[in-house]
Amino acid sequence: MAHVARVDETGIVRDVHVIDNADLPNGGAFSPEAEAAAQEFQQRLGLTPAGHEWYLTSYNDSFRFRYAGQGMVFDPDLGPDGAFIPPQPFPSWTLNADTASWDAPVPMPTESGPWMWDEATLSWVSAT
């Protein structure tokens, strides 16, 4: 099965659907042709509101960094094929373009945790 994420005009993932690999070229393997076919398939079903696009997403994270989820942002310019980025956890965290993940301004301590981020002090604090 292939998975496609519906992305609105602001780049936010609204939902993820499953398409049978038989309905896509090359058995649904990631390619520009498969993605175009997925877009056309969803349009034929009437599932594409104005300004929305469909993008293939990998259930095993083999492309676009991670599997798309509702509320994530799709950045078509990040990575070789775009990236699905989770919501920013805290205002002080910055996006790491190499991983399409958010980095805290201070690395998490290596000592045994658990740790949680304290945005007020911009530091990790013990969660125990």
Give the pLDDT score at 26.
86
Peptide bond preceding 114 in cis form (omega within 30 of 0): yes
DSSP letter for each residue of 83-123: EEEPPPSSTT-EEETTTTEEE-SSPPPSSS--EEEETTTTE
Tokens of 54: 């469909």
Contacts of 89 (CB under 8 A, 6+ apart): 102, 117
Domain ranges of the chain: 2-87, 88-128
Instruction: Tell me which of 27-31, 87-91, 114-118 is least confident.
Output: 27-31
Say yes or no to pLDDT of 34 above 90: yes
The pLDDT-based confidence of 78 (bands split at 50, 70, 90) is: very high
Give the pLDDT score at 128.
87
Say yes or no to pLDDT of 113 above 90: no
CB–CB of 54/6 below 8 Å? yes
The pLDDT-based confidence of 72 (bands split at 50, 70, 90) is: very high
pTM for the model stands at 0.90
